[in-house]
Amino acid sequence: MSSLSRSFGGLNAVDNLDLVIEPGPIHSIIGPNGAGKTTLFNLISGLYRPTGGNVFFENKDVTGQPAWKLAGLGLSRTFQNLQIFFNMSAVENVMVGMHLKCDTRFIPSLLRSRSVVRDDRKNRERAGELLEFVGLGGYLGAEASAMPYGALKRLEIARALAAGPKVMLLDEPAAGLNPAETAAIDDLIREIAAAGVTVVLVEHDMRLVMGVSDHIFVLERGRLLAEGNGHEIRHNPDVVAAYLGESARDR
């Protein structure tokens, strides 16, 4: 992204930001509350249009493209606040992530043509495989409304994976989880990256961030404050000051 900006009234949530996410490594975006992290995700994923600047995906300018087009290019995301269809089963929730690859023509769908039935069966099988992959094999027959919060966080990740992404944006995947669930999310993030998906993470759990990240970006007031590996970020005086106050520079 180049000179990316987004303002809300007089507030610059993202302010002339230049940031490059290389394919492959696990990236994390961190910063104090109000730093612009989720706004940045919303810009990258097409939920917000930038006030200025550009977003690029695989060297193509995709600025202002709607979320469904970006999903078709290979960009998936999860949300800080769960976006689950509670009137569907776990398997059906995952299948929603496959909609761009399905035959959605009206007449064949209405008549349940042979190709539609075949695709539906194949997608259900794939949804089951993804539930197994994220550790939800025990919920193959479950309704989403009956699943615990920690399982729902994984369900949303499975749905994002169902689109076959090249890049996955995870917005606070460990929020509200206990230590054991957080450790399991850590393992899952590593497995997703090992499968060839570039992971970009927004997360407040610094133990998770420092443990799983290959590269970390630090935002403050919508600007890039610092970037580097965990060791570099942990010992960066500007980052320490941003989190702990200016007095931290003298400690």
Report pLDDT for 247.
Answer: 39
Helices (H) and strands (E) in the chain, counts: 10, 11
Decide if pLDDT at 228 tops 90: yes
Query: Which residue's entry shows tokens 């200016």?
Result: 246
Q: Tokens standing for 120? A: 């539906």
Report pLDDT for 11.
Answer: 87
What is the count of structural domains for the chain?
1
Find the domain containing 71 and state its range.
2-250
Work out the widest C-alpha separation in the chain, in whole angstroms: 72
Q: What 8-state DSSP symbol labels residue 89?
A: B
Report pLDDT for 64.
Answer: 87
**Which CA distances in Å does 235 have to 26, 179, 228, 241, 248?**
20, 25, 10, 11, 12
* pTM of the full structure: 0.87
In angstroms, how far is CA 90 from the centroid of its own chain? 19
Decide if pLDDT at 249 tops 50: no
Residue 171, beta-bridge partner list = 202
Residues 6+ apart with CB under 8 A from 75: 44, 45, 57, 165, 166, 167, 169
Decide if pLDDT at 248 tops 70: no
Mean pLDDT across 94-102: 83
Residues 14-40: tens digit of each pLDDT? 999 999 999 988 999 999 888 899 999
Q: How far apart are CA 23 and CA 27, in angstroms?
A: 10
**Which CA distances in Å does 164 have to 10, 80, 185?**
38, 21, 19
Residues 40-75: tens digit of each pLDDT? 999 999 999 999 999 999 989 999 899 989 999 999
143 vs 241 pLDDT, higher one: 143
- CATH number for the domain spanning 173: value is 3.40.50.300
Q: How far apart are CA 89 and CA 187, in angstroms?
A: 25
